[in-house]
Structure 1
Amino acid sequence: MNAPIVRSLLENDLYKFTMWQALLHHQPGAMAEYAFVCRNTPAFALADLKAEVEAELDHLCSLQFAADELDYLRGLRFIKSDFVDFLSVFHFQRRFVTVSTEGETLRIVARGPLVHVMGFEIFVLYIVNTLYHRRLGDSEAVLAEARQRLQAKIDVIKAADAELRDEAEFPFVLFDFGLRRRHSAQWHDEVLAALTRELPHYLRGTSNVHLARRYGITPIGTMAHEYLQAYQAFGSRLRDFQKSALEGWVQEYRGDLGTALTDVIGMDAFLADFDLYFAKLFDGLRHDSGDPVAWGEKAIAHYQKLRIDPRTKRLVFSDGLNPQKALALYRHFHGRIHTSFGIGTDLTNDTPQRALNIVMKLTHCNGQPVAKLSDAPGKTLCEDQTFLAYLRQVFSHTAS
């Protein structure tokens, strides 16, 4: 009999907490709908997992934050006491999430008050991932191969130690961003233990708040697509939604958590809104789609155009990275702007088994469709093609 997959409500990505707090304070009455999507072809029909997913969601909805977990959150300087008080009485409500099947397709939808359903996303993703890999078989041979692959990645970074170790002004900074698509909790624990042991100079944190607490490292995260997407339905002109979202973030965090996500409607449209005011207030930008070199060059050129020294800013890369790609990007931008690298699936789910490419995205807010217009083909998400066309027209965005 396997133990429940969700070990703690703290085992969530930090940016879910930071977005949660901001939206609780600024849009407490908003309604939302999130939908699960598998972007690739699984080894078997995910619909077969329906009963197990239902049982894991039942368990999730029985959990509450423990007192010591709340104390940990309260100790993060950007987390406010009234938000922790809210979390002290919060629990997920099962009536807000439904699981169904359509042929071989697994359908999971969370629908209800935004501040009650937005937290389901990461838990749903790693529940499905864990069940999927259990069904494929967690054999010792699979884990042995995963350990070899992990060690090879560590060795890639260690091989560059002479180049990286003494770089104080523009250090190589690595984060674990692998919670949502991990192979299993046990493997994630093993990965993070290995990274903290073997790469202490370079690993600066993890998005997994539970493991950040366990290993005494920094929890990492600011905002995700859903935060900006939600502002498409919050009453401002659609053309102004990014500015409204960024302004809401500034007012909530007053200088903390200053990394802005750029690809909700594409980098060009983002930079058109990222004026001198925001460029001075935010510490840097996060990349999550499109050519990372071209994106970084656009960011540097934008700062220079605004007469801001790029060397005072930071670019965070988080799209499909591995150590080799991270080192290549570090070398390309070294000395011109600070860089950090969040590696996800390549760290926590690189095994001989076929990994899932799954997401659970905000599709509607306040009864209106919302959309992400990605710089990468296949990442654009919207269920309403009319709204998608309108959004493209407003922002002069070409289809992808």
Structure 2
Amino acid sequence: MNVNLAERAHNHNWKLDPIVRSLLDTDFYKLLMLQFIWKNFPRVHVTSETTNRTTSVRLAEQISAEVLIEQMEHVRQLRFRKSELIWLAGNTFYGTRTIFEPAFLDWLEKDFRLSDYEVLEHDGQLVLRFSGLWTEVTMWEIYGLALLSEMKTRAALSKLSELELDILYARAKTRLWDKIEKLRKVPGISISEFGTRRRHSFLWQEYVVLAMRAGIGESLSGTSNTYLAYKHDMEAMGTNAHELPMALAAISNSDEELHQSQYRVLELWQQSYGGELLILLPDTFGTTQFLQGAPDWVADWTGQRCDSKDPFVAGDEYIAWLMSRGRDARRKRLIASDGLDVDEIIALQTYFKDRIRFSAGWGTLLTNDFRGCHPRGEHDFEPISLVCKLISVEGRPAVKLSDNAHKATGPVDEVERYRRIFGTMAIEGAEVVV
């Protein structure tokens, strides 16, 4: 891709370079989840909210709320294009052409809208809050995070001269090349690009994806960014996220129903997708308790994504669980996706070789690794940990426990109640960097 990143960064043109260019500019799993919600929970109301876990970076002092609102209004005015809907209808995803129902695509074209929002300032942070029907709120997650992340980038870029911009991107490209060179030496490695939500910018994400495809070929299995998959004829990757079990848990009416909600969401997912897209995400309320209490049919799912536990430990635990259920782990998939970088990806590939089919969902440290690239040695381009989580469902608080207590969300008393019901201890995992 022949793009002068430094020149584009220096001369951002609103119409040429809006941060979000298409409603497809989101993780593929959001579209799959949207169809699931549309089918099963069309009248449920929720509220979600962004959080900057890197509290030392005070976004409200770097980002103009007025310009942020302008960008958000641009996103609200976007509509799915005919060509995009035809692609969703006719493309093969995970080996099948029946992923998206005609009635859902018709609804996307005619009736889909994004909810109202608030831009709040608290403790030096800008907080985005979204409230409305779940079908109107869920898609804001990736758009909102990408807006905040790139606006932070643009604020930092505006302080650099054209020469400094050249140096910045030259250093970042060199770092990317060094990572690609390492990966080229590892046979059989499988990587999906997962970096939309905290990317440096859309243009840089696109550059990275195309560089990875050119550099490691088929070892890049695809991208989670649906627009880039559509634009560049790539595989769109992803299934679901913590939002679904969090919501079903919040609307449970008893302790038993709450505990079983983590399996009920899997039943509904299976029914909604005809036995396809069966990747477990068991850490919403703790992986160990999830596996211990899981019905036997859960072991028939295709694989597991580990997102908050040490992936070496999580992989061993999953393999042992599969063996205890009489399943062959070598036929299953293990996807690691939590703050990965190249050396850990290679180490995981080596560790799990011939034991399970390992793949890496590589996010922020692929699409936003500008650490040490600033020409004056400053830290303006360091990636930060931005998240957007449900905070309530039908007026009830939403909770995530996670395998890492640093990632737990929800009111303190509700978190403790959930820990009692799920039997999950608070485990101080690794510090959350991204």
Q: Same fold (TM over 0.5)?
A: yes
Alignment correspondent of 1:248: 268
Alignment correspondent of 2:404: 376
Given residue 87 of structure 2, which amino acid in structure 1 is its aligned partner?
Y
Alignment correspondent of 2:417: 390
The structure 2 residue matched to 1:367, chosen from 384, 395, 404, is 395
Q: CA deviation at 1:103?
A: 4.1
Q: Does 1:141 align with 2:159?
A: no
Q: Does 1:66 align with 2:81?
A: yes
Query: Structure 1: how far apart are the matches of 2:35 and 2:147?
Result: 24
Given residue 142 of structure 1, which amino acid in structure 2 is its aligned partner?
L
Alignment correspondent of 1:50: 65
Contact 2:48 2:130 in 1 (8 A): yes
Query: Structure 1: how far apart are the matches of 2:123 and 2:409?
Result: 22
Q: Does 1:194 align with 2:211?
A: yes
The structure 2 residue matched to 1:229, chosen from 246, 253, 256, is 246
Q: Which moved more, 1:36-45 or 1:348-357?
A: 36-45
Matches for 1:56-135 after TM superposition, within 5 Å: 56-76=71-91, 77=97, 78-93=99-114, 96-135=116-155
TM-score, structure 2 normalization: 0.87
Report the CA distance shift for 1:233/1:66 in structure 2 as closer, same or farther (over 3 A). Answer: same
The structure 2 residue matched to 1:340, chosen from 344, 352, 359, is 359
Q: CA deviation at 1:201?
A: 2.4
Contact 2:24 2:227 in 1 (8 A): yes
Q: Does 1:40 align with 2:61?
A: no
Given residue 267 of structure 1, which amino acid in structure 2 is its aligned partner?
T
SS in structure 1 opposite 2:128? strand
CA-to-partner distance for each residue in 1:219-263, whole Å, 9 max, x for gaps? Answer: 000010101111113446111110111111111112211111111
Matches for 1:202-217 after TM superposition, within 5 Å: 202-217=219-234
Contact 2:194 2:224 in 1 (8 A): yes
Alignment correspondent of 1:168: none
Q: Which moved more, 1:42-51 or 1:72-81?
A: 42-51
Percent sequence identity over matched residues? 32
Contact 1:183 1:348 in 2 (8 A): yes
CA-to-partner distance for each residue in 1:69-106, whole Å, 9 max, x for gaps? Answer: 01111124211111111110245346x21102124121
SS in structure 1 opposite 2:344? helix
Given residue 238 of structure 2, which amino acid in structure 1 is its aligned partner?
G
Q: Does 1:288 align with 2:307?
A: yes
Q: CA deviation at 1:41?
A: 3.5
Q: Does 1:150 align with 2:168?
A: no
Q: CA RMSD in A?
A: 1.4
SS in structure 2 opposite 1:100? strand
Contact 1:178 1:344 in 2 (8 A): yes
Q: CA deviation at 1:46?
A: 2.6
Report the CA distance shift for 1:116/1:45 in structure 2 as closer, same or farther (over 3 A). Answer: closer
Given residue 39 of structure 1, which amino acid in structure 2 is its aligned partner?
R
The structure 2 residue matched to 1:185, chosen from 177, 202, 205, is 202
Given residue 382 of structure 2, which amino acid in structure 1 is its aligned partner?
R
After TM superposition, the runs of 4+ consecutive aligned structure 1 residues lying more than 3 A away are 41-45, 90-94
Report the CA distance shift for 1:275/1:196 in structure 2 as closer, same or farther (over 3 A). Answer: same
Given residue 73 of structure 2, which amino acid in structure 1 is its aligned partner?
D
CA-to-partner distance for each residue in 1:194-230, whole Å, 9 max, x for gaps? Answer: 0111111200100000001112110000010101111
Query: Structure 2: how far apart are the matches of 1:71 and 1:324?
Result: 39
Runs of 5+ in structure 2 lacking a partner? 1-12, 92-96, 159-164, 374-380, 428-434
Contact 2:58 2:125 in 1 (8 A): no
The structure 2 residue matched to 1:299, chosen from 315, 318, 323, is 318
Given residue 184 of structure 2, which amino acid in structure 1 is its aligned partner?
K
Report the CA distance shift for 1:333/1:93 in structure 2 as closer, same or farther (over 3 A). Answer: closer
Contact 2:141 2:388 in 1 (8 A): yes
Query: Structure 2: how far apart are the matches of 1:184 and 1:90?
Result: 29
Contact 1:43 1:354 in 2 (8 A): no
Query: Structure 1: how far apart are the matches of 2:39 and 2:112?
Result: 18
CA-to-partner distance for each residue in 1:263-320, whole Å, 9 max, x for gaps? Answer: 101111210233321111x101001012111111110010000011111111111011
Contact 2:28 2:236 in 1 (8 A): yes
Given residue 351 of structure 2, which amino acid in structure 1 is its aligned partner?
H
Query: Structure 2: how far apart are the matches of 1:41 and 1:395?
Result: 30
Query: Structure 2: how far apart are the matches of 1:148 and 1:92?
Result: 41
Alignment correspondent of 2:36: 22
Q: How many residues align?
A: 388
Given residue 328 of structure 2, which amino acid in structure 1 is its aligned partner?
D
Contact 1:243 1:273 in 2 (8 A): no
The structure 2 residue matched to 1:270, chosen from 283, 290, 295, is 290
SS in structure 1 opposite 2:387? strand
